[in-house]
């Protein structure tokens, strides 16, 4: 009838295996191999320019991907303001973008902690030779500093502006 398996469970007494008959690819097959697919996380050369938009629930958001499937939103939930970074999907039934399971919602105090940690994270990224953008809070996105001299020049200009204000 049935034979008992080693770690629980049962299987039929017929334990014959089917032969594996796929042939290996020969070296000549490599020439006709299809081109490799583009990886999911390969970004286009053109950077995304962030802009403030409004979703169907009248919540402001900024898209982090050109297709709008990753967003940073500001919303209210049970009287608490949340900043959410979340993956979105298009609902096939009505064609609307809806939030998915992947993401995180931060209350304002945790969002402030993240912003306070940003300079520390930027130093780690700089050690890894990754370029980062430092925003100008007048509504424009800053250009990445090419080297240390550009960053120092920007800091000196800010100090001079502060002195002029006094």
Block residue for tokens 């120092």 = 152
Q: Tokens representing 18?
A: 């089917």
**CB of 72 within 8 A of CB of 83?**
yes
Largest CA distance in the chain: 94
Please tell me the distance from the alpha carbon of residue 137 to that of residue 38, in angstroms, as a whole number.
Answer: 35
Please tell me the distance from the alpha carbon of residue 23 to that of residue 137, in angstroms, as a whole number.
Answer: 61
C-alpha closest to that of 105 among 59, 47, 136, 54: 59
**The dihedral formed by the CA atoms of 131, 133, 134 and 138, expressed in degrees to the nearest 10:** 160
Each residue of 105-158: pLDDT tens digit?
999 999 999 999 999 999 999 999 998 887 777 655 555 555 454 545 555 555
Each residue of 46-101: pLDDT tens digit?
567 888 999 888 889 999 998 889 999 999 999 999 999 999 999 999 988 999 99
């Amino acid at each position: 009838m049935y034979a008992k398996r080693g770690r629980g469970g049962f299987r039929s007494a017929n334990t014959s295996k089917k032969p594996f008959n796929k042939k290996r690819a020969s070296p000549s097959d490599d020439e006709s191999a299809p081109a490799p697919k583009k990886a999911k996380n390969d970004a286009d050369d053109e950077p995304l320019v962030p802009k403030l938009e409004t979703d169907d629930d009248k919540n402001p958001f900024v898209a982090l991907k050109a297709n709008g499937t990753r967003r940073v939103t500001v919303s209210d939930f049970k009287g608490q303001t949340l900043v959410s970074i979340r993956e979105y999907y298009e609902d096939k039934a009505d064609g609307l973008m809806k939030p998915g399971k992947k993401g995180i919602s931060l209350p304002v105090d945790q969002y402030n902690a993240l912003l306070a940690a940003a300079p520390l994270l930027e130093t780690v990224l700089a050690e890894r030779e990754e370029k980062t953008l430092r925003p100008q809070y007048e509504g424009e996105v800053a250009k990445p500093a090419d080297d240390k001299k550009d960053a120092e020049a920007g800091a000196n200009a800010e100090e001079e502006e502060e002195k002029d204000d006094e």
